[in-house]
Structure formats: structure tokens, C-alpha cells
Amino acid sequence: MNWQDPDDSGPENRLRLKVFELFTKRLWPYITKYRKLFIVSLSLVFFTTGASLSIPWLLGKAVDLALLPKKAALLLPFGFILLTLDALNALATYFQNLSFTKLGQEVIHDLRQDLLKQYQFYPLHEFNQNPIGRLVTRLVNDTSSLQDLFTSGLAVTLGNICVVAGIIVWLMVLHPSLGLICVSVFPIMAFFSRFFGRRIRETARDSRQALSQLNATLAENISGMSLIQIFNRQKTFHDLFDRTSKDYTRTQIKTLESFAYFQPTITFLSSLSMLLLIWYGGFLSLKNSISLGMLVSFMAYLHSLYSPIRDITEKYNLFLTAMTSCERIFEFLDRPLEKQIRPQETQIEKLSLQGSIEFQNVSFRYSQEKESLWVLVNLNFCIEAGEKIGIVGYTGAGKTTLVHLLMQFYDLEQGEILIDGKNISETSDKRMLRQKIGYIQQEPFLFSGTVEENIFLWDEKGREIFQALPDFARAPFESGPLFLKKEIFEKGANLSSGERQMIAFIRTLVQNPSILILDEATAHMDSLTEKWIERISKEAFQNRTVFIIAHRLATLKSVSRILVLHHGELVEMGTHSTLLSKKGIYAKLYQLQSRKEALEGTPRI
Amino acid sequence: MITFSQTLKTLYHYAKPYKREFAFGILTLFIVDFLQILPPLVLKEFIDRASLALKGEKHFSPFLWLGVAYITIAIGQSICRYFWRMFLMRGSFKVAEKIRDDYFSKLQKLPPSFYNRNTIGDLMSLATNDTEAVRFALGPGLLVLADATFFLMSIPPTLFILSYKLAFLSLAPMLMVPFIITRIEKLIHERFEKVQNQFSKLCAFSQENLEGIRIIKAFTREWTQLNRFSKIGKEFVRLNLKLARAQAAFDPLFTLAVSLGLVSLLIFAGKDVIMGSISLGTFAAFTRYLDQLVWPMTAFGLSVTYYQRGKTSLERICQVLQEKEENKTSEGNAFSIPSQINAPFLEVRHLTFTYLGSSRPVLQNINFQIQKGSRTAIVGTIGSGKSTLIRLLAGLHETPPHMIFWEGSDFSKLPLEERRKKIAFVPQDVFLFRETLRWNILMGGPFPEMKGDVWLFELLKRSGLDKEAGRWNLDLKMGERGLTLSGGERARVTLARALAVDAPLLILDDALSSVDSHTESEILHHLSHEKLSRNQTLILITHRLSKLWDFDQILVFKEGVLIQTGMPLNLAKTPGLYRELLELQRIEDELARS
Ligand SMILES: Nc1ncnc2c1ncn2[C@@H]1O[C@H](COP(=O)(O)OP(=O)(O)OP(=O)(O)O)[C@@H](O)[C@H]1O
Ligand SMILES: Nc1ncnc2c1ncn2[C@@H]1O[C@H](COP(=O)(O)OP(=O)(O)OP(=O)(O)O)[C@@H](O)[C@H]1O
Ligand SMILES: [Mg+2]
Ligand SMILES: [Mg+2]
């Protein structure tokens, strides 16, 4: 059995676009947003190209007009003109570099911003499927690889294309059949460009994918490093990393190889065309149909035709790789967002909720596939506004899932959930509802930053509510390990689990939600701290519908009704005493936690 | 800041295994450059012969001969072009791989305190973005440098041979080149460092944002985060532009230096040409040669840029490579002494510990003993240092010597690996790898040699997962961090992983807080059997006191101090924190009232 399957990359690279289409349809709109900058950059390119071409010409003129007729007086003016032109050229080149960098950076910034925006509004199952490292790779590495395209690629290529086009026209005008001979290798070049282009893109795709694999592996290894150390598994993980790292190198070398074949092919073809010119031109000149001077100047032109083509060739690789990255970015930009969500930056509409909740025939499973199990089965219950509800059940019974549905993290497959009598799958913006539901997650996530930032989550409105809390509630945050200005490490690594839960609790409260959900929110707390929560709750729970999910039944002191879930079904519901008298699951759990039972020794199972 | 010679040394160190590749790459590059000189000669020959032919002398055969020569040269060039690219670049890719490898090995040896100071995104960008910059210095950087050197070696001497005066005149402006380089080089270094730092921030932010996506959604902070991201991104743009302002100066300035040579040639040597003291041909040759100097100058500028970038990134990587590693015990022999008879299984004496950068000790003068095969529970207020204590036992933080004793000998003297083999540990923060369930469990145990399914199911049963295990496909990949499991399921998988280790000491840090009490009882039941059959010692950290009645010892912590030790029944009788907590958890009367 192969249980170290290397191919866990899943569905990557589904979008395959033609390079041209990708550039014109997808990237172009981003560029045109900076039309002025683009036009300025372009004019600078024209200027610098013109200047570099005219300087040799001017020098030739100086020879013709000053040196040959021996007019020493003209030397200085010519020198002066050349000097000015050189200086201007240098200046223009400098600014052309800058403006292309700016254009590139701005476009990349926009792309990055758009992609993150897309991520923010992805449905959650995307995050279950895609390792974060992969998403990050597209967001920062793939966008960055566009930079070279703008700074060196675009400027050089655009300038060179102009030169090439100009020279071709000029050759055709000068002598059509000789001109045709000069460009006769073009079709072959085009063929090879396509042939190798396809291979380069294919390998570039592999290489980008390998990079994202590498990033995902790294991210995971770094997050789990202490586990790797505890279990002495350094070698195993090193081998795994090594494989992805080698994979990346291998794919990079493959891309290199295609290009290493391609570039000499093109230069060889250009030499070939020179040979054709010599033969055909020599033949013509022997027949005296062209002068030798004509042939010589054609040779010179051909030389200046192929050096920009070589330059373009050098950038071809860059261009294709950039397009591959683009393809990957746009693939993720094209993925569907969550349903019923308004991704605009407008203020979310305020909603005032009473907080009554009704579940009607709700069934749910995480995957729509046939054989997947139902996690929630036909739930029916009704909760009045302001009621305090406890949810109890064995682990894996579906408690958290139920909350996820209320938060609309996942879409319902069957049944309806009504909040204040309104079907939640008909709200225009999920965020409106989420804003009014305070959800304290089972495992709190903290951002790096200060305690304060984690409590207010960069919204100063919360501060007022925080200030309005009673003194005892604010006390832990005035000094000690939870001091408001304390810097928290990534994922709250320098706080204890209980401290993290305290922050999670307060941060939800200051959002002023109408419905409050505590999913094991006090699981890592000692009873004294729980007491603190309870004291705050006395006031905080008023006028709010509250759900408390807890395994420690003592946490449920304040609830009025308890729902008992078992394998996704609602098996019992009622007050504490009715449930006890039912002698069902709740009664059993209760027994296990009461002191009497425990005193009798090891439980019988 | 590392010096020039140190940078070169480090680069050389990495390039050394591939020096044949690099040498061959540069050699073939020289051949290409050298062959470049030939085609014009062939063309010249051709024109000469053609003009002879025009004058009536039939010389057709040399045409063919020249054509063959021309094609041969072209083929030779093409082949060499293929080779230099393959060799030089392949070498650089291999070097990058080696750097990544070294970097990763180093990461594996760094303690948690390092990971607290550095974010994941940061460390990721070092392995990809910075490594790439170093690679660029070695691949493309070396290439352009070699190319430029070839031209710079061949053209100026030719000029001097042609005419001293003209050579001086035309090359004089080039004297500003070293000056420009020294001025700009430093700027590039400084600014590129800032760019790379900002890139790390970008990475770190993205990583964190995506990890916290559930919170962001639940708190509808999508746009808050986007705006924060935009700020970082805008700064990145700004820094990049600043870098570009320095970097973009090379090319035009160098080109200008060459052009200035032309102008000075025209102005100062023009008279001589007119007077006839210098031939027009020499003058024309000079202009052509100067033209050929443009590329090497640009290339030279590029190589300086690549070198500076590579150096900056190398510095950043070296910073990590020079970090202090986890304490590698030096005198491992202290442990080869056979364990003292009668010494307690585990003893902690006067243990005091302070986190780096904090003033207050998290653990103060802790003293306790644990007997072999006993069951100890650690309870206490939050933040009282329970997890810290466990992490110290597992050697995740540098342990002070003479404070922790394993069967009578100093634990801190034991090599970390040995030490960790003695402890099976379920950390408070659940973490699962994105692998199969089987893999995750077996990574603790006899991995990678697999034991049979029977053994695995036994493990699952002992960790209370037997019912679920029937439903699950053990060979299915889990989502990141096992996020597709419920909280309790995840906790039990980590428990199974620890059980797979089969170590003498088992530590559960609040591992059962997210399972229901039924399952909890079952697990504890299994564990107590474990105790009988395997003589495994158990340390359980918990906030739920109802299951602790038959434990052998309870340690009660408060604010870093061990305030109570004793048997559960005794503690329940004496006034103190334990009793207080116990009272608060009594559910009979309270719930009955509601
Ligand atoms: N994202 C997901 N994708 C697929 N299955 C999932 C996902 N999340 C949870 N499940 C499965 O759904 C079931 C119910 O999970 P849920 O998290 O709702 O349990 P729970 O009652 O909260 O348990 P616990 O008390 O352990 O937290 C579990 O069997 C779990 O494996
Ligand atoms: N890496 C760190 N750097 C600095 N301080 C830390 C670090 N880790 C934890 N702390 C602090 O040390 C104290 C003890 O933390 P620890 O995690 O050991 O508590 P705990 O007893 O396990 O609490 P809990 O029951 O909540 O898990 C806390 O106040 C915490 O803020
Ligand atoms: Mg749950
Ligand atoms: Mg802890």
C-alpha cells in the first residue's frame, strides 16, 4: 500500500489559456487601468529605441559631413548634438525603467489585492481542500514572477518588436526578393517557438506547481515543528521535504532544458538566413542584378534584424513563465465565491435581530457525494429570542456542524433554518447575519499583534463596548499576561490555552452580537476563570440568544433548555430535570460527572 | 552584514560540489563568445571574393567552402550555447537545492523560541524567495559577469593596440564606472534588504490571514484584512520603486559612459582624422568597438545587481543558519551510569524557569516526585505554567541543569533524542499533518515500518476511536491540520499518536478537554489498564476534576507555584485551591436547581 502518496496536489492548474488570450483578455485590463503610465512608458520606449538607432546614424553623418569634407568647425556642434542625445537617451532609459517597474508593481499589487479579496470570500470547503501554502504561493510568489515581465521583458520586447517591424518593411522596400529571403526562416522560427513554447509552458506549470507544493510542505513542517521534534521524526520529514525540493529543482531544470534547446535553435536559424542571403545575394550580384554595396548593406540590416530577435528570444522564457503564473492566478480568481455574499467594501447593512431560531427538517453532510454520511439528520427545533440553550452530545455528534450551519459557513442541502422567522438562505448578504452572530470557536485563533488588536480586530467600535464592561471583566487585561498592549506571537504562541480562550470570549462580546454561540469556549479554563466568565455573562447574556456547547456540564448552569445530539439526530430536548428523568444520554453523561459515581471508582462501561 | 570575502566564501562553499559544472559552463560560454568573432571574418572573406568574382575571375568553389565554414561555426555556437546554459544554470539550481536542504535541516534543529520570533511566512519566503536571489547571483550573475569579462578582456586591449591616444580618449569616461558601482552598490544592498523584509511580511500576512479565515469570516473582517494587506502591499511597491531608482541607474549610466567615449572621440580625435594623422578606418573601427562595449557594460551592471541581491539574501539565510540550535547535550556520559536504585522515576527539584524576554518567572521553585507506574494529575489556574512544565520535560525549551532528574540522573544531560524517546506527549495545541490518518498515528510509533492493522485498531481502541475508526478510511488524506475532523476526534487522534510511541512516560496536556465525559471515562479506563499491563507512568493535565479520584497524586499549580500536592481525597478535605475548584465543579445541586 502506498501511503506516502506524493501526488496529493489535487486539482491544480485547471485553467489552460492561450498565451495571447491570457495576455489580452485577462492581464490587459489590469494594465489599462494605468493607461497614462503605460502610455508614458511606451513613449519612452519609442524615444529610447529611436535615440539608440539615430546615434550611429548621426555618427555616420558626422563622418560624411565633417570628417570627409575636412570641416573641423562642424565637429563641435556634432559632438554637442550627440552629447545631448546621449544624455537624453540615458535619462529616458532611466525613466523608462522606473515607469515600467512602477507599472508592473501597481499591476501586481492590484492582482494580489484582487486575489486576496477572492480568497476572503471563498466558501470554506476551498480551504479544507487547498493547503494554505498553496494559496499563499499564488498570492505572493506567482504574482511576483510577473515583475520581471514588466521591468525587463515588456520594455525590451516592445522596443525590439518596433525595430524588427521597421527593418522588415525597409528591407521589403529596398529589394523585395532579397527581403523575402531574409525573412524566409520566419515560418520555421514561428514553428519552433510554438513547439518549444508549448513545452516550456508545460514544464513551467509543473515547476510552479512544485513550488507551491514546496511552500505547502514548508508551511506545514514549520507549524508542526515541535511535534516533529517531540516524536524524533526529523529524518522522516526531512526526506519528505527533500523530495518536494528535488522535485522543484527537477522541474526547473526541465524548463531550462527546453529553453536551452530553443534559444540556440533560433540563433542558428538566424545564421542560416544570413547564409541564404549570401548565396542568393551572391548569385544575384554575380548576375549583376544588384550591386555588391546593396548586398553588404543587406547583411548589415540582417544583422540588426536578428539581434533584437535574439533579445526577444531571451525574454520568451520569461514571458511564458509569467504567463503560466498569470494562468494560475486567474484560475483562482475565477473560482466561485460563497453564495449570497456581497464582496464590496461597502458598510455591511445593519440588521437588528431578535434572535429566535428555528430549524426545519435540516439535514446536512459535508460532501454531496452519494456515499458520504449525513452529519446532521432531520433536525427540528425552535428557539425563542433570548433563550439560553445548551447543546450536549458525544464527540463527533455534530454540534460544531450545527453552528457552522447557523453561521452559513456551509450551504444547506435539505431543510431550512429560520432566524427571526426569515429563511437564512434568502438573505442577500451572509455577512449581515454573521455580524450579528458571535461565534466563539472551539480552538481560538489569534493573530500576531497586540492583545488589543486581537480583541477589537481593528475596529474601534468594540472599544466602547469594552470600556462599558464592568471593572472585574476588564481587570485581566489591565496588567499581567493579557495586558492590552502585550505583543502576541503568531497563533498566540506566548499565551496559555486558557488565556487565548479569554481573549476569544471578550473579543466576541465586544462585537455586540444578538446571538452568541460558545463552542467549548471554556474547555481549557479552570473553574475560577469560568466563574469570571459566568459573572460577565450574567449581564452579557441578557437580551441575547445564547448557545453553549460544553462537555463539562457544570458550564451549563445558566441554560434553560438543553439539546442532546446523537449521531446528528436530536434525541433529547428539555430542561435539566426532565432530561435527567428521561434516563437517556444526558442522564448518563450527568452520572459520569457527578461526584458520587466517580467516588465509586473506575467507571463501568 | 557579511563582507565581500565571506560572501564569496559562502557562495564558493555551495558552488564547490558543482564546480565542474560551473567551470564547463563558463568555458563553453567563452567558446561561444570567441566564435562570435569568426562570422564577420567569413563575411569579409566572402565580400572580398565576391568582388574579385565580379571582376571576372571565376571563384565559385570558395563560396561553397565559406558557406560550410559559416554553418559549421553556427552549429558549434549553437551546441555551446546549449551547454553553457545547461551547465551554468543547472549548477545554480543544484546550489539552490542544497541551500534549501541546509536551511531545512537547520530549521529542524531550532527550538520553539526561534519559531516564536519568526513567523511561518517569514521562514517560507527565505526558503523560496531568498534562495532564488542567491541562485540568481550564481547562475545568471556569474554568466553575465563571465560574458562581460570576456568582452572587457578583448576589446580594450585591441583599442590600445590600434591607437593609444584614441583608446585613452574613448575609455576615459569609463573611469566613472567604479565610482558609480561603489555608490550604487550599497544602495542596492540596503534597499533590497528592505524589499525582501517586506516580502516576508507579505508572505506572513497572507499565511496568517488564510489560517484565520474562519475568524475573519465569522467577524466579517474581510475588508479590514484586505485594507491591512493593501498597506503592506503599497509599502512593498514603494520599496521596490526605491530599489528600482538605484538599480535602474546602472544601465543608462554605463551606456552613457560608452557614448561619452564616442563623443570625446569625435570632438578630440576628429581634428586628427581631418589632419590625416589618424586614418578614417581606425576611427571607424573605434566607433564599432565602442558600440560593442555597450553590452558588456550593461552585463557588468547586471552582475553587480545580482551579486548585491544574492548577498543580501544570503545574509538573511545565514542569520537563520547561525541561530543557536536546540541544546545538544555535551556530556552525554552522565547518563550512562546505571539508574540509581530507589531513586524516584521522575523528580523535579527547585525548578525555576523564565521565558526569554519576560521578567517574571513562569515557574518558581517547583519540587515534586513521580513514582514509576503512578498516575499524576496536574491541575491549576490558567496560565499557571502547567504546559510550560511539560514542555520543559520534553526538552522543547532549554532546560536548566540539575533541576529535572530521571531515575536519579540529570535529565538535561541526556541527548534530546533519547530524552524524547522516554516521553509520549499529547500537546495542548492539536496539530495533525496533511497526510493520511494512518500516517498521522504511526508517525509516533514504529514508523516507517508498518505494523499490522490489528495493532493500529488496538491503538484506536485505546484512544476511544474504535467506533469512528470503523467508518473512516484510514488511508484518506486529511484536510489541513485535520480540520475536517471534529474537535474531539482530532484530540483522540493525537492521543493515538502518542500511544503509538510506547514510551515509559505518557503526558496528556489537557488532551481530553474536548471529548465528552463518556468517552473520557473510557479512555481513562483504558489508560489505567495500560498502567497495569505496561507499567506506564501517566501525567494528566486537566481542568476537569471529577475523574481524578483514583489518581495517585495531584499537583495543584497557581501562578507558577506548586501550591498543593497530595492524594485527591486528602486534597478534597483540606481547604485550598483544589477544594475550591472542586466545589465549583459540583453539578448536582446547581443543575438540579435550574
Ligand atoms: N469540514 C468537514 N468535512 C467533512 N467532515 C467533517 C467536517 N467537519 C466535521 N466533519 C465530521 O462531521 C462529524 C461531526 O463533526 P462536529 O465537528 O460537528 O462534531 P462535534 O459534535 O462538534 O464534536 P466535538 O465534540 O468533538 O467537537 C464528525 O464525524 C466529523 O468528522
Ligand atoms: N513562549 C512564551 N513566551 C512568553 N511567555 C509565555 C510563553 N508561553 C507561555 N507564556 C506565558 O507563561 C504563562 C504560563 O503558560 P502555560 O502555557 O504554561 O500555562 P498553563 O498552565 O498551561 O495554562 P492553561 O491551563 O491555560 O493551558 C502564561 O501566562 C503565558 O502567558
Ligand atoms: Mg465541536
Ligand atoms: Mg496549558
Residue B195 · residue B236 · CB < 8 Å: yes
Pick the range with the lowest mean pLDDT from A352-366, B141-155, B279-293, B364-378.
B279-293
Once rounded to an integer, what is the mean pLDDT over residues B199-212?
93
Q: Residue B486 and residue A399: Cα distance in Å, rounded?
A: 9
What is the percent of chain A with per-residue pLDDT over 70, rounded to a whole number?
95
CATH 1.20.1560.10 corresponds to the domain A16-333: yes
Q: Which atom of ligand 1 is nearest to the CA of A442?
A: 27
Neighbouring residues of B213: CB distance < 8 A, sequence distance ≥ 6: A119, A120, A122, A124, A127
Query: Rounded to whole angstroms, what are the CA distances from A23 to A26, A31, A191, A325, B426?
Result: 6, 10, 20, 12, 52
CB contact under 8 A, B54 and A285: yes
pLDDT of residue A600: 46
Beta bridge pairs of residue B409: B406
Beta bridge pairs of residue B368: B348
pTM score, whole prediction = 0.91
pLDDT of residue B126: 93
Chain A residues 223-262 with a CB less than 8 Å from chain B: 223-234, 236-238, 241-242, 245-246, 248-249, 252-253, 256-257, 259-261
pLDDT of residue A131: 86
Edge-first strand listing for the sheet containing A422-423: A376-383, A357-364, A414-419, A422-423
Task: Select the more confidently predicted residue: B502 or B297.
Answer: B297
Place B239 in a pLDDT band, splitting at 50, 70 and 90. very high
Give the type of residue at B177: V
A288: left (phi over 0), alpha (psi -120 to 50) or beta: left
- Whether the pLDDT of residue B339 is over 60: the answer is no
Select from B101, B267, B386 the Cβ nearest to the Cβ of A245: B101
Compute the distance from residue A367 Cα to the ligand 3 centre, in Å. 18
Q: What is the per-residue burial (b if ≥16 Cβ within 10 Å, else e) of B515-542?
A: bbbbbbbbbbbbbeebbeeeebbbbbbb
Secondary structure tally for chain A: helices H, strands E:
24, 12
With a cut of 50, list the residues of chain A below it in pLDDT.
1-13, 597-598, 600-605
What cell numbers appear for B197 in the block? Answer: 523584509
Residue B499 · residue B506 · CB < 8 Å: yes
Q: Residue A289 and residue A175: Cα distance in Å, rounded?
A: 11
Contact residues on chain B for A296, CB-CB shorter than 8 A: 47
Those residues whose beta carbon sits under 5 angstroms from the ion ligand 4 are A 496-497; B 387, 428
Pick the range with the lowest mean pLDDT from A182-191, A321-330, B273-282, B422-431.
B273-282
Q: Residue A578 and residue B594: Cα distance in Å, rounded?
A: 11
Residue A377 Cβ < 6 Å to ligand 1: no
Closest-approaching ligand to the CA atom of B516: 1
Q: Residue A242 and residue B458: Cα distance in Å, rounded?
A: 33
Helices B176-211 & A75-120 angle (0-180, nearest 10): 10
Q: Is A559's Cβ below 8 Å from some Cβ in B? A: yes
pLDDT of residue B590: 60
Question: In whole numbers, what is the pLDDT of chain B averaged over residues?
Answer: 86
Neighbouring residues of A557: CB distance < 8 A, sequence distance ≥ 6: A534, B587, B590, B591, B594
Task: Please state whether the peptide bond connecting residue B415 to the residue before it is cis, i.e. omega within 30 degrees of 0.
Answer: no
Q: Kindly report the CA angle at B89 between B85 and B91, in degrees rounded to 5?
A: 125
Compute the distance from residue A568 Cα to the ligand 3 centre, in Å. 12
Q: Residue B585 and residue B546: Cα distance in Å, rounded?
A: 8
DSSP B403: S
Strands (E), A22-140: none
Q: Residue A410 and residue A363: Cα distance in Å, rounded?
A: 12
Neighbouring residues of A398: CB distance < 8 A, sequence distance ≥ 6: A375, A376, A565, A567, A568
Q: Is A45's Cβ below 8 Å from some Cβ in B? A: no
- Whether the pLDDT of residue B372 is over 60: the answer is yes
Q: Residue A490 and residue A499: Cα distance in Å, rounded?
A: 15
DSSP B236-289: HHHHHHHHHHHHTTHHHHHHHHHHHHHHHIIIIIHHHHHHTSS-HHHHHHHHHH
Contact residues on chain B for A234, CB-CB shorter than 8 A: 108-109
- Whether the pLDDT of residue B60 is over 70: the answer is no
Once rounded to an integer, what is the mean pLDDT over residues B512-522?
88
The residue of chain B with its CA nearest to that of A51 is B259
Question: Length of chain B in residues, anyone?
Answer: 594
Taking only the tens place, the pLDDT of each residue in B438-478 is 888 888 776 555 667 788 888 888 888 888 877 787 887 77
Q: Is A405's Cβ below 8 Å from some Cβ in B? A: no
Q: Residue A389 and residue B37: Cα distance in Å, rounded?
A: 88
Helices B4-15 & B280-321 angle (0-180, nearest 10): 80
Task: Please state whether the peptide bond connecting residue B62 to the residue before it is cis, i.e. omega within 30 degrees of 0.
Answer: no
Q: Provide the pairing of β-strand A545-549 with A515-519.
A: parallel
Dihedral angle of Cα B87, B93, B98, B101, to the nearest 10 degrees = -160
CB contact under 8 A, A511 and B216: no
Select from A131, A139, A489 the Cβ nearest to the Cβ of B116: A489
Residue B282 · residue B164 · CB < 8 Å: no
ipTM: 0.90
Compute the distance from residue A571 Cα to the ligand 1 centre, in Å. 18
Q: Residue A515 and residue A510: Cα distance in Å, rounded?
A: 13
Query: Rounded to whole angstroms, what are the CA distances from B498 to B12, B493, B523, B532?
Result: 44, 9, 13, 18
Compute the distance from residue B486 Cα to the ligand 3 centre, in Å. 5
What cell numbers appear for B363 in the block? Answer: 515557574
pLDDT of residue A5: 32
Single out the residue of A86, A70, A143 nearest to residue A109, CA to CA.
A143
Residue with cell 510550560: B388
SS3 sequence of B320-388? HHCCCCCCCCCCHHHHCCCCCCCCCCEEEEEEEECCCCCCCCCEEEEEEEECCCCEEEEEECCCCCHHH
Place B509 in a pLDDT band, splitting at 50, 70 and 90. very high
**Can you tell me whether residue A423 is helix, strand or coil?**
strand
Beta bridge pairs of residue B477: B436
Q: Residue A528 and residue B384: Cα distance in Å, rounded?
A: 13
Place B332 in a pLDDT band, splitting at 50, 70 and 90. very low
Contact residues on chain B for A315, CB-CB shorter than 8 A: none
The residue of chain A with its CA nearest to that of B488 is A395
What cell numbers appear for B318 in the block? Answer: 545565514
Tell me which CATH homologous superfamily contains domain A357-600.
P-loop containing nucleotide triphosphate hydrolases (3.40.50.300)
Q: Kindly report the CA angle at A506 between A504 and A511, in degrees rounded to 5?
A: 100
Among protein residues, the one with the nearest Cα to ligand 1's atom 17 is B486
Q: Residue B196 and residue B219: Cα distance in Å, rounded?
A: 32
Q: Provide the pairing of β-strand B375-380 with B363-370.
A: unpaired
Strands (E), A167-319: none
- Whether the pLDDT of residue B258 is over 80: the answer is yes
What cell numbers appear for B194 in the block? Answer: 528592505
CB contact under 8 A, A241 and B63: no
Query: What is the least distance, in Å, from the CA of B573 to any CA of chain A?
Result: 14
What cell numbers appear for A210 in the block? Answer: 512544485
Q: Residue A89 and residue B48: Cα distance in Å, rounded?
A: 37
The residue of chain A with its CA nearest to that of B51 is A292
Place B589 in a pLDDT band, splitting at 50, 70 and 90. low
What cell numbers appear for B308 in the block? Answer: 548585491
Q: Residue A387 and residue A542: Cα distance in Å, rounded?
A: 9
pLDDT of residue B350: 92
CB contact under 8 A, B222 and A117: yes
Task: Select the more confidently predicted residue: A425 or B54.
Answer: A425
- Whether the pLDDT of residue B196 is over 90: the answer is yes
Give the type of residue at B544: R
Q: Which residue among B217, B485, B493, B515 has the greatest number of ligand 1 atoms within 8 angstroms of its CB, and so is best to mutate?
A: B485
Q: Quick one: which H or E segment has residue A415?
A: strand A414-419
Single out the residue of B389, B407, B409 nearest to residue B399, CA to CA.
B389
Q: Residue A122 and residue B216: Cα distance in Å, rounded?
A: 12
Among protein residues, the one with the nearest Cα to ligand 2's atom 25 is B382
Task: Select the more confidently predicted residue: A12 or B173.
Answer: B173
Single out the residue of B543, B539, B557 nearest to residue B365, CA to CA.
B557
Domain ranges of chain A: 16-333, 357-600
Contact residues on chain B for A401, CB-CB shorter than 8 A: 486
Place B588 in a pLDDT band, splitting at 50, 70 and 90. low
Residue A486 Cβ < 6 Å to ligand 2: no
- Cα B519 to chain centroid distance, Å, stands at 40
**Can you tell me whether residue B563 is helix, strand or coil?**
strand
Phi, psi for residue B561 in degrees, rounded to 5: -120, 140
Beta bridge pairs of residue B541: B378, B509
Number of Cα atoms under 13 Å in the Cβ half of residue B42: 23
pLDDT of residue B450: 62
Dihedral angle of Cα B285, B290, B294, B295, to the nearest 10 degrees = 50
Question: Length of chain A in residues, anyone?
Answer: 605
Q: Residue A78 and residue A61: Cα distance in Å, rounded?
A: 9
Q: Residue A90 and residue B253: Cα distance in Å, rounded?
A: 6
Single out the residue of B297, B180, B293 nearest to residue B246, CA to CA.
B180
Contact residues on chain A for B86, CB-CB shorter than 8 A: 256-257, 260
Residue B515 Cβ < 6 Å to ligand 2: no
pLDDT of residue B265: 84
